Structure 1
Amino acid sequence: MIYEFCARTDRGLHRANNEDSVVFDTAAGLAVLADGMGGYNAGEVASGMATAFIQAEMVRWLAQAGRRANMREVRRALEICVENANQAILGASLANPQYAGMGTTLVVGVFQNARLTLGHIGDSRCYRLRNGSFEQITRDHSWLQEQVDAGLLTQQQAASSINRNLVTRALGVEDVALLEINDYAVEAGDLYLMCSDGLSDMVSDEDIARILAADGTLEQKATQLIDAANAQGGRDNISALLTKAKAGSGKRGLMARLLGA
């Protein structure tokens, strides 16, 4: 499987700075998105630390482990990297008064061969478009989602609630990072979208799906998603990280195996 990545982030129309951070590494098959929180520029610091730390550590580990690493090993490596990032952010928060209470949501994916190892904390999301079917494959760690799960609110009521930004998990705020990890089979033609709530709160799932399903490059789709969020008011920072799966040639796969890649 061959993966193509594209990322776009925007300050939005009302925020003075951008506390979202997005990175990807095509060679490693790694995608990371974080949405920071905290006063002044503390959220920007937290999200930047998360993406930079996880990218550096996971790319290094994946380069050493190669494609021989099984899914269990990838999951464990991801857990360790995220926990180390959690400790780094928490330590900075405790050591610097201006960063007190900072934290960040996180969604991180490792795309290897025909599989995805996906971890997330908070309400940043990952969606998948497959053969015309659009689905949110992460579940928000938020107060609203807990109310919906308990049957106390409908999805429609949750969508209009003033409490939509109350997350129940975040990176860098507690001693242990509660990372949720799931594994997925990837099919050729799949399109994955990681996004901050600045997109998902402003643009409906139906409109997101329509943009992703339309013709165009990943760059065009990412720009259209951000434009759509700003057209609806752009109340928050907006980030979109797209990953497209394409079938690799059998000849290339055989050569890679002969070379030990």
Structure 2
Amino acid sequence: MNLNGTIQVVRLTDVGLRREHNEDAVASDMETGLLVLADGMGGYKAGEVASEMAVLTIVSGLRDGMLELSPGETDATTGLMQESVVLRDAVARANSAIYNVSQSQPQCAGMGTTLVAAVFADNRVGVGHIGDSRLYRLRDGTLAQLTEDHSLLNEQLKAGLITPEQAKVSNNKNLVTRALGVDPEVELELHEHVVEPGDIYLLCSDGLSDLVEDEEIELTLNTLSANLELAAHQLVQMANDNGGKDNISVILARTLKPFPAKNGWRDKLTQWLK
């Protein structure tokens, strides 16, 4: 489903103030409705390799996988959009590719990456993530986090071991419990959501979410919603103003109009009932 002209996208990534290298990678492909952001980790430059491999493999996997799809069809086994299933399969291939390189190239040993990706189709969005990169949605002025961090800090919060106030100053902020490419297999957490015209979706690395409160993100997006490029630059600047201790990456996407599938099962049913 080609969504050029249907979804407005702005991407921005910044090295921050304390890192020598940018280990984040971002991409968008509106011919397949894909947004993807990866935050790499590992030894010298290995994080850059992992995040770049993840993004390139997933973009390529979506393009190849979409060739086989009928718009609007759902997967009989999972009930998900076929586009979400293609995303899941592309992530699995990315995991294998990164893991194999980390095992065969000593300079890449132990590398991995967090991941957050979104695929838009048939007035829905499939959201998949691994680690603590996040996806937010701004709808009717209210910001909602649609992903849940795979991190030790979040596990401690859910278990009631620490309070939200303690979490803000915790030393465990960057300890993820799930990452792409670290093990032979990894589970992509995958959910789908209905999309409405005017929604703004934010994908970000923890370089933003660790340093800028959700309330500040919400205020910024509401204030600058008419200019997504300016909003992206402002978010990055806010993270740098608060210390810029990590790479900072954001993808902003605004849905401009509905995008129902053509010739999918809903269209077929409508034609049959006429």
TM-score range, shorter chain: over 0.9
Matched, 1:154 2:163: yes
Matched, 1:238 2:236: no
Matched, 1:140 2:146: no
**What displacement does 1:31 show?**
0.2
How high is the TM-score relative to the length of structure 2?
0.88
Tell me which moved more, 205-214 or 42-51. 205-214
Please report the RMSD computed on the Cα atoms of aligned residues, expressed in angstroms. Answer: 2.0
Name the one with the larger helix percent: 1
Matching of residues 174-185 of structure 1 within 5 Å:
174-185=183-194
Residue ranges of structure 2 left out of the alignment (5+ in a row): 75-79, 268-274
Distance 1:36 1:248, change over 3 A: same
d(CA) in 2 for partners of 1:104, 1:66: 32
Instruction: Choose the corresponding residue for 2:14, options 10, 28, 47.
Output: 10
d(CA) in 2 for partners of 1:78, 1:27: 14
**What displacement does 1:249 show?**
9.2
**Native 8 Å contact 2:72 2:122 kept in 1:** no
How high is the TM-score relative to the length of structure 1?
0.93
Query: Residue 65 of structure 1 aligns to a residue in which SS?
Result: coil
**Native 8 Å contact 2:121 2:259 kept in 1:** no
Instruction: Choose the corresponding residue for 1:34, options 22, 33, 38.
Output: 38
* Identity value in percent: 48
d(CA) in 1 for partners of 2:100, 2:227: 41
d(CA) in 2 for partners of 1:72, 1:212: 29
d(CA) in 2 for partners of 1:126, 1:9: 15
Name the amino acid aligned to 1:95: S
- 1:145-169 deviation digits (Å, cap 9, x = unpaired): 0001111111121111011000000
- 1:92-138 deviation digits (Å, cap 9, x = unpaired): 00000000000000001001131000000000000110001111110
Residue ranges of structure 1 left out of the alignment (5+ in a row): none
Instruction: Choose the corresponding residue for 2:87, options 72, 75, 78.
Output: 78
Which runs of 4 or more aligned residues in structure 1 lie more than 3 Å from their structure 2 counterparts after TM superposition? none
Number of equivalences: 255
Matched, 1:117 2:121: no
